A and B are shown apart, each in its own frame.
Chain A
Amino acid sequence: MAAISLRKLNKHYGSLFHAVKDVDLEIADKEFVALVGPSGCGKSTTLRMIAGLEDITSGDIRIGDRIVNDLPPRDRDIAMVFQNYALYQHMSVYDNLAFGLRNKKTSEAEIKAAIDRAAGMLGLHELLARKPKQLSGGQQQRVALGRCIVRNPEVFLFDEPLSNLDAKLRAQMRIEIKRLHAAIPTTSVFVTHDQVEAMTLGDRVVIMRDGRVQQVGTPLQVYGKPANKFVAGFIGAPAMNFVTATVRSDGGATTVEAAGLKLSVGDAEARALGAYNGKSVIMGARPEHLALGEGASGLGFDARVEVVEQLGSEILLETRVGSHGITVARVPAETVIARGDQVRISAQPGRLHFFDPDTELPITG
């Protein structure tokens, strides 16, 4: 049983750099949480503080029922996978796997049994006698995972473990990690800058920026109900389109208008936007919620195609709306379309997001 709890966690480097700011986070036992954000957002520092590799400036870290603020890493009962694998280069794979258990003075027979089990799960049996240098990146990362499993710790920490792998291998390892977590449910914290990894792996996703937590939620929550404009733009690929538009409420109908664009919004949105009549807001629309054609009434607009990205499964269409503003739409791959075409694009009803231009918080009713 090991829930992790971070209370008002802060990290200063000298007097100038405040890397992690008042982070509060509760991670339940056996939960898989992904920390995601752009580089320099403090996610790795947070993870390293949980691991004990970095001192904390203020706040508390609790693992299970212990406050671990001042415990050295070796006493926290954690295991960690690093971006560059961090295998002990001078030891064989077997010795790498055995290292932690030998430090705990486990008997060689037990060590062998634990390694057998882990090697079976990860397909490492053939590699046990080799040195890390003789392994491919994917194999090394599997050994690093194995090194965590054999110790049977209370918490797994992952520090961008898939970043050094090529795209195909990354997808495979993602599945492997997911399968591993299902087989050995252990509280896990996974740091990544790749929102796809975060969304696919995490039971919950924590989005960070500039040392602060922006939102904590299930993948569906952070995608569907982003807590601010940053989260809206960060989650989802291609990123959400943002347009600055003016709200016009005229008796019954509410519209949002920008150059070359006039969309009528639904009742719920109209209520939310009531206070913004005549003011500008930031409107967001995800590429997958834009389609070619007229669509629902009042939600269509004209655009000129600038770039056609054929992906085989779909086309990403970059279009110019009005005099400025580039909008990306995802349309079926079979669509016959070329650069310079004039097209009609429509937004799906109820799928538009609105943000306050000053606070960047969502405008909800």
Chain B
Amino acid sequence: MPIVTRPDFLPGLPKWSRKTLFALALFGICFAFAFPVLWLILTSLRPESGVYYVHRGTEFTLSSFAEVLSDERIVHAFINSALISTLATFFSLLVTVSSGYMLSRFTGPASRIWFGTIYVFRCVPYISWVLPLYFVTQSWGLYDTYTGLLLPHVAVHICFFSWLMKGFFDGIDPSMEYAAMIDGCTRWGAFIRVALPSALPAISALAVLCWLFTWNEFLFALILTGNHVPMITVVMAQFVTEMGLRWNLMAATAVMALAPAFLIALFGQKYVIRGLRI
């Protein structure tokens, strides 16, 4: 017998109509979310002349994709985005995992100060970081370099995701680590050999979130980079020119930029959700 019984949805209606309503609502919500993506894909497949009439016409072509892929700058931007996302994820995980662990397991002053610090940084509106960061990267000579973009991203990841990581570790029974310490491990050894492997699903989920965060990020990429480190989100926006909008190219680039998120949704979703549930 279930311990919690769920009150029925619209209890006055017969069961079949409740089911129909439910299905309609579900479909409506899915459609609302999927529609822009579908429109984007359609646009990317239309020739330039057809982008304003996506709903009409039967002419489809892959030429926008070909044109985008032949543009060296866009290919460069793709590689850059992937590289920065991967590096930022790697470096931020190194800190985030241990900082989340500290927040979860230790209650001393160091932990409290760290907690307060990332709390304050988290409360600051994201956009207000950008200008100071611009001046800092300028004065340190990091403007428009990989490092100049990587460091702010790592910092943001740490502030935003240490909390998630703390939550994951809160869900892992600490007595496992105590057992390891009694079984011959140091405190660090218990963390590395016992807590970390148990948190692996959560860490993978976090890695995906970090990666997508940087991949999708626009503001830092716009302000902190120039021509040397083009990022895909910025390059995509540059199809808006004085000569007009190149909708088909922008859509083709966007569709390609969607691919990683799409692949994760398709194959990794189960693992991400399982990781987030720990």
Q: State which size class the interface on A falls in.
A: 20 to 34
In whole angstroms, what is the CA distance A133 to B179 when docked? 17
Complex contact A72–B180 (CB within 8 A): no
Complex contact B183–A86 (CB within 8 A): no
Does residue A73 face the partner (Cβ distance < 8 Å to B)? yes
Beta-carbon nearest neighbor of A100 in chain B: B183
Does residue B181 face the partner (Cβ distance < 8 Å to A)? yes
A:13-54 near B, CB below 8 Å: 51-53
Complex contact B185–A86 (CB within 8 A): no
Does residue A168 face the partner (Cβ distance < 8 Å to B)? no
Complex contact A103–B175 (CB within 8 A): no
Complex contact B176–A74 (CB within 8 A): no
In whole angstroms, what is the CA distance A15 to B175 when docked? 26
Complex contact A90–B178 (CB within 8 A): no
Does residue A223 face the partner (Cβ distance < 8 Å to B)? no
Complex contact B200–A90 (CB within 8 A): yes
Number of A-B contacts defined by CB within 8 Å = 62
Complex contact B181–A86 (CB within 8 A): no
Complex contact A103–B183 (CB within 8 A): yes
A86 in contact with B186 given A53-B178, A80-B178, A99-B180 (CB within 8 Å):
no
Complex contact B176–A86 (CB within 8 A): yes
Does residue B71 face the partner (Cβ distance < 8 Å to A)? no
In whole angstroms, what is the CA distance A74 to B181 when docked? 6
Partner of B185, one of A51, A90, A103: A103
Partner of B198, one of A73, A83, A89, A104: A89
Q: Nearest Cβ in chain B — how far from A319, in angstroms? A: 37
Q: Nearest Cβ in chain A — how far from B182, in angstroms? A: 5
A84 proximity list for chain B (CB < 8 A): 173, 175
Does residue B116 face the partner (Cβ distance < 8 Å to A)? no
Complex contact A74–B183 (CB within 8 A): yes
Does residue A6 face the partner (Cβ distance < 8 Å to B)? no
Complex contact B178–A82 (CB within 8 A): yes
In whole angstroms, what is the CA distance A192 to B152 when docked? 51
B183 proximity list for chain A (CB < 8 A): 74, 79, 99-100, 103, 147, 151
In whole angstroms, what is the CA distance A193 to B156 when docked? 47
Does residue A78 face the partner (Cβ distance < 8 Å to B)? yes
Does residue A206 face the partner (Cβ distance < 8 Å to B)? no
In whole angstroms, what is the CA distance A74 to B185 when docked? 6
In whole angstroms, what is the CA distance A196 to B78 when docked? 68
A74, A78, A80: most-surrounded residue (chain B CB, <10 A): A74
Does residue A363 face the partner (Cβ distance < 8 Å to B)? no
In whole angstroms, what is the CA distance A343 to B178 when docked? 56
In whole angstroms, what is the CA distance A51 to B183 when docked? 11
Q: State which size class the interface on B falls in.
A: 10 to 19
B182 proximity list for chain A (CB < 8 A): 51-53, 73-74, 76, 78-80, 100
Does residue A347 face the partner (Cβ distance < 8 Å to B)? no
Does residue B194 face the partner (Cβ distance < 8 Å to A)? yes
Complex contact B179–A86 (CB within 8 A): yes
Does residue A230 face the partner (Cβ distance < 8 Å to B)? no
In whole angstroms, what is the CA distance A86 to B175 when docked? 5
A100 proximity list for chain B (CB < 8 A): 182-184
A301 proximity list for chain B (CB < 8 A): none
A74 proximity list for chain B (CB < 8 A): 181-186
A86 in contact with B173 given A72-B186, A74-B183, A99-B180 (CB within 8 Å):
yes
Does residue A276 face the partner (Cβ distance < 8 Å to B)? no
Complex contact B178–A86 (CB within 8 A): yes
Partner of B179, one of A52, A72, A80, A90: A80
In whole angstroms, what is the CA distance A174 to B184 when docked? 27
In whole angstroms, what is the CA distance A104 to B183 when docked? 9
A88 proximity list for chain B (CB < 8 A): 176, 179-180, 194, 197-198
Does residue A87 face the partner (Cβ distance < 8 Å to B)? yes
In whole angstroms, what is the CA distance A103 to B184 when docked? 6
A53, A86, A104, A151: most-surrounded residue (chain B CB, <10 A): A86
In whole angstroms, what is the CA distance A31 to B185 when docked? 27
Complex contact A73–B173 (CB within 8 A): no
Complex contact B173–A90 (CB within 8 A): no
A78 proximity list for chain B (CB < 8 A): 182
Beta-carbon nearest neighbor of A80 in chain B: B182
In whole angstroms, what is the CA distance A337 to B162 when docked? 65
In whole angstroms, what is the CA distance A99 to B190 when docked? 11
A:47-86 near B, CB below 8 Å: 51-53, 72-74, 76, 78-80, 82-84, 86
A73 in contact with B178 given A89-B198, A90-B200, A100-B184 (CB within 8 Å):
yes
29 A/B residue pairs, CB under 8 Å, sorted by A: A52-B181, A53-B178, A53-B181, A53-B182, A72-B181, A73-B182, A74-B182, A74-B183, A74-B184, A74-B186, A79-B182, A80-B178, A82-B175, A83-B175, A84-B173, A84-B175, A86-B178, A86-B179, A87-B176, A87-B179, A88-B197, A89-B198, A90-B198, A99-B180, A99-B183, A99-B184, A100-B184, A103-B185, A104-B184
Q: Give the 5 A-B CB pairs with smallest separation, nearest first.
A: A103-B184, A100-B183, A86-B175, A86-B179, A90-B197
**Apart from A73-B182, A74-B181, A84-B173, 9 more pairs, CB < 8 Å:** A53-B178, A74-B186, A76-B182, A80-B178, A88-B197, A88-B198, A99-B183, A104-B184, A147-B179
